[in-house]
Structure 1
Amino acid sequence: MYYGAIEAGGTKFVCAVSRNGVDIEERTSIPTTTPEETLKHVFAFFDSYTLISMGIGSFGPIDVNKDSGTYGFITSTPKPGWGFFDFLGEIKSRYNVPTAWTTDVNASAYGEFRKGGGQKSGSCVYLTVGTGIGGGAVVDGKVLEGFGHPEMGHILVRRHPEDDYEGNCPYHADCLEGMAAGPAIEKRHGYKAGTLAGDEKVWGMEAYYIAQALVQYTLILRPEVFILGGGVMKQNQLFPLIRTEYQRLLNNYVETPAPETMITAPALGDDAAITGCLLLAEEAEVQLP
């Protein structure tokens, strides 16, 4: 008997199984193409196992409101073919087991909270900065959700004084994602982000936007730990810049843990989300009939 987990990303799906809800026994990576093609490979993987329960962390936006007629759907995503797709319904029609359903970044936050860099804290925020920007939070040991899930990448930010880039978000133009995600960096400067590693101005501007977001999350949620993942955050020179800018912007208004320990890279690396999905699957077995 196995716990199943799906980290459903816009580029790839990671599927895994575990006997104890922690240690991954087998996993596979599947390119995200059409729902029909992608799920064909997902089913081929899980059909080999007898499942106890499943945990799914999906790219979004998704509907997490259990009273909604579209609960379990991926909703207004711009990804072709996936808009208003009944993802959870398709999974449950194949595997009639208790299933946890949340965002991929909420799953990452939960994985880090339970088994990674947030283990010694009571609350944490996980922010991924890559092709897009998304965030999840764990407060009092529970994934933060309400009428919907957090959309931390689309908060509005102040424009850097030297930045005249219009922004890359199709919904809000110059929101956090529009100004600081990987494509925004590339379109603003005309080069792939990875080729700009030594450009202090590029990363100073990036730190300015990310630090603004962390200040806003601090003032609203007061988390003990910020865990910053995603492809852009593999530019390790960003961390000290963000910590310095965070302190400058917060200006000692409220007390926080030391930025050196508060603002960190994922301890679980690229396994944060799939770990969180397995942990949520284990809890789903207990909580759901």
Structure 2
Amino acid sequence: MRYGAIEAGGTKFVCGIGNEEGIIEDRISFPTEHPEQTMQKVIDYFADKNVTAIGIGSFGPINVDPSSPLYGYITTTPKPGWANYDVLGKLRESFNVPFGWDTDVNAAAFGEAKWGAAQGLDSCVYYTVGTGIGVGVYMEGRLVHGLVHPEGGHVMIRPASDDSFQGTCPYHGDCLEGMAAGPAIEQRWGVKGSELPVDHPTWDLEAYYLAQSISSTILMMSPKKIILGGGVMQQAHLFPLIHTHVQKILNGYIRTESLLENIHSYIVPPGLGTNSGLRGSLALGVEAKRNQQ
């Protein structure tokens, strides 16, 4: 059987076709424009693909409550035209198949749990650190929702004593996203992070802020793997800095080999590379079909 996958990002959409083993057989990407234009491209792509189900991992916030009349909607995004847009409703006009629906970062966590760095484990937390910061949570063999869905990019952190930057988040100022996402790096230093040398002080500061959130995640949820993806985390030298800061913050309180001796194998890059989101969306489609049976 062939399954459809949609990684619906705020900058671009990636659509693909794959199988239940997680292999992507075909894909296409295009910029995220006005919803009607963008969704028509999605529909045109899948029109002749004869897919069994479609999984969607979407930028948000989104409504993930199946009992809500707004299930399948993007809700309060500032992206022009997309606030209160019914993504699933639009797709259902053209395709009579089961749909999987979740946040883009939950989809990435799901992909990593099925076929990536957390394969064989029943829990992981996935951070994407890029234009924004998102957190996906997979615990006890399922994706976590609740009142809405995890919004771990907006947890509050403790600013470094020598950092007077006020943050970029329009809601919270100096939350994790406001202090550590790509735009925060650029605004703090006047250049994109990709242009800064590996010994620039921003990287230790970045690692410190991410480590605060990661340490809280370890203490609160005790996941068996933490995976860090997104554009900022392409700076591979961040990982050892984060490992060091997490160990300092936890200060030996969690006495497990994974943190004390093998932290380099516990806080890791995505096993699926840049394909976590698309393959995770594929996994959402496969699960939706199984749940229907």
Q: 1:203 is matched with which residue?
A: 203
SS of the equivalent of 1:275 reads helix
- One-letter code of the match for 1:72? G
Does residue 268 (structure 1) correspond to residue 264 (structure 2)? The answer is no
Q: 1:48 is matched with which residue?
A: 48
Q: Give percent identity, aligned residues only.
A: 49
SS of the equivalent of 1:224 reads coil
Residues 76-108 of structure 1: CA deviation (Å, up to 9, x unaligned): 111111111111111112112110100000010
Q: Sort the Cα spacing of 1:48 and 1:108 in 2 relative to 1 into closer, same or farther, 3 A.
A: same
CA distance in 2, matches of 1:77, 1:275: 24
Q: Is the 8 A contact 1:55 1:281 kept in 2?
A: yes
Q: 1:186 is matched with which residue?
A: 186
Q: Is the 8 A contact 2:198 2:237 kept in 1?
A: no
Residues 197-255 of structure 1: CA deviation (Å, up to 9, x unaligned): 33331101000100001011111110011100000001111000000000000111223
Q: Is the 8 A contact 1:197 1:235 kept in 2?
A: no
Which segment is superposed worse, 93-102 or 20-29? Answer: 20-29
Q: What TM-score do you get using the length of structure 2 for normalisation?
A: 0.96
Residues 119-155 of structure 1: CA deviation (Å, up to 9, x unaligned): 1422100000000000101111111112211001000
SS of the equivalent of 1:52 reads coil
CA distance in 2, matches of 1:125, 1:42: 29
CA distance in 1, matches of 2:212, 2:27: 37
Q: Sort the Cα spacing of 1:53 and 1:22 in 2 relative to 1 into closer, same or farther, 3 A.
A: same
Does residue 245 (structure 1) correspond to residue 245 (structure 2)? The answer is yes
Q: 2:92 is matched with which residue?
A: 92
Q: Is the 8 A contact 1:74 1:86 kept in 2?
A: yes
Q: Sort the Cα spacing of 1:38 and 1:66 in 2 relative to 1 into closer, same or farther, 3 A.
A: same
Does residue 286 (structure 1) correspond to residue 280 (structure 2)? The answer is no
For residues 124-273 of structure 1, what are the structure 2 equivalents within 5 Å? Answer: 124-256=124-256, 257=258, 258-273=262-277
Q: 1:102 is matched with which residue?
A: 102
1:162, distance to aligned residue in structure 2 (A): 1.1
CA distance in 2, matches of 1:11, 1:21: 28
- Structure 1 segments of 4+ aligned residues over 4 angstroms from their partners: none
1:21, distance to aligned residue in structure 2 (A): 4.9
User: 5+ unaligned residues in a row in structure 1: which ranges?
Assistant: none
- One-letter code of the match for 2:279? T
Q: How many residues align?
A: 289
SS of the equivalent of 1:77 reads coil
Which segment is superposed worse, 131-140 or 279-288? Answer: 279-288
SS of the equivalent of 1:223 reads coil
Q: 1:61 is matched with which residue?
A: 61
CA distance in 2, matches of 1:208, 1:18: 38
CA distance in 1, matches of 2:18, 2:267: 30
CA RMSD, 1 decimal: 1.2
SS of the equivalent of 1:137 reads strand
Q: 1:6 is matched with which residue?
A: 6
CA distance in 2, matches of 1:19, 1:234: 28
Residues 9-39 of structure 1: CA deviation (Å, up to 9, x unaligned): 0111110112445211211001101101111
CA distance in 2, matches of 1:251, 1:182: 29
SS of the equivalent of 2:52 reads strand
SS of the equivalent of 1:206 reads helix
Q: Sort the Cα spacing of 1:19 and 1:224 in 2 relative to 1 into closer, same or farther, 3 A.
A: closer
User: 5+ unaligned residues in a row in structure 2: which ranges?
Assistant: none
